[in-house]
Chain A
Amino acid sequence: MGERIVFTVAAASAIASGILVVTLKGPFRATVALIGTLLSVSVLFLLLMAPFVAAIQVIVYAGAIVVLFLFVIAYLGERPVAEIGDRLGRYAAFAWLAVIVLAVQGVVVLTTTRLPGVRDDPKPVDDIGSPEAIGRSFIDDFIVPFEATSLALLVAAVGAVLLAKRAIRSEGGR
């Protein structure tokens, strides 16, 4: 029963802060709302027996990515978006249409699925979320994706440096 309560609170706060992320006007406030979603999802990860993923979620997402966002927002300053020339505004109706159609599809799939045990109590699991289990899985089964991830991070770092250099050069060097 306690699990149910924690799940309800975390899910409600995740969706509520998600709505704030999508609706708030100011970038700073939307970013702070995103922290709420990230922390709620990490509570859901804890309920799903994934303590390591929950810790990484807090450290990498709430700790690194959100701080990067906040730095860029502080660098750019709070600046209202020009609402002149509203070309994309006309297409918002199609965005709503797509979202509603997808929501109906999701509800139909979730209510009619025949996956065994999808609506029952979750079965007890082995040790699947500990750092040891995840490390063994990375080394034994997923060594190629692991190395590919490190390559992707290297490419991203080099790309960020190149972008910054080009931006400085286009300003006439500094």
Chain B
Amino acid sequence: MTATVEGVPLVLYLAVSGALFLLGLLGVMTRRNPLLLLLSVELLLNSANLSLVAFSRYWNTTDGQVFALVVMAVAAAEVVIGLGLVVAVFRQRLALDVDQMSSMKG
């Protein structure tokens, strides 16, 4: 923000994280291919991780980094289930479009 600052202040990291979050949000709301939807969700999780690690640096504590690692494990689990669902849907009918996946049946 100010020209005299040598390093990178926290507010810039938060701005980058916010920009990535907005991009991911836009992707989740406008994408129709479930694969691309999951990619946008990854973008959202990464922006949250960036905020966590930036605050961890700001408060001089390890907690934020630990939570970022937990978020990564949850992201891995989410991708496994999400891609499993995509493949299961793909094998039943051919259109890969979240618009047409509107009915649930056991």
Chain A interfacial positions (CB closer than 8 Å to B): 1, 3-4, 7, 11, 14-15, 18-19, 21-22, 27, 30-31, 34, 37-38, 41, 44-45, 47-50, 52-53, 56-57, 60-61, 64-65, 68-69, 72-73, 75-76, 79, 81-82, 85-88, 91-92, 94-96, 98-99, 102-103, 106, 110, 113, 115, 117-123, 125-126, 128-129, 133-134, 137-138, 141-142, 145-146, 149, 152-153, 155-157, 159-160, 163-164, 166-167, 170-171
- CB–CB B99/A85 < 8 A: yes
Interface size on B, residues (CB 8 A): 79
**What A residues does B14 contact at CB under 8 A?**
110
State the 9 A-B residue pairs at the shortest beta-carbon distance, nearest first. A156-B77, A95-B29, A163-B84, A22-B27, A167-B88, A18-B23, A137-B62, A48-B57, A106-B18
Residues 73-86 of chain B, each 1 if its beta carbon lies under 8 Å from chain A, else 0? 11111111101111
- CB–CB B23/A53 < 8 A: no
**What A residues does B74 contact at CB under 8 A?**
149, 152
- Check A4/B65 contact, CB under 8 A, given A48-B54, A82-B95: no
Given contacts A34-B39, A50-B56, A141-B63, 12 further A-B contacts (CB under 8 A): A3-B6, A45-B50, A56-B72, A65-B42, A68-B80, A69-B35, A128-B62, A133-B62, A145-B66, A156-B81, A159-B84, A171-B91
- CB–CB A48/B13 < 8 A: yes
Min CB–CB distance A34 → chain B (angstroms): 5
Total A-B contacts with CB atoms under 8 angstroms apart: 251
B104 touches A (CB below 8 Å):
no
**What A residues does B103 contact at CB under 8 A?**
none
State A106–B13 Cα separation when bound (angstroms): 13
State A120–B10 Cα separation when bound (angstroms): 8
- Check A37/B11 contact, CB under 8 A, given A48-B56, A65-B75, A82-B97: no
- CB–CB A152/B87 < 8 A: no
**What A residues does B40 contact at CB under 8 A?**
21-22
**Interface residues of A: mostly helix, strand, loop or mixed?**
helix
State A47–B12 Cα separation when bound (angstroms): 12
State A133–B15 Cα separation when bound (angstroms): 28
Closest to B19 in A: A15
- Check A37/B99 contact, CB under 8 A, given A18-B43, A27-B35, A99-B26: no
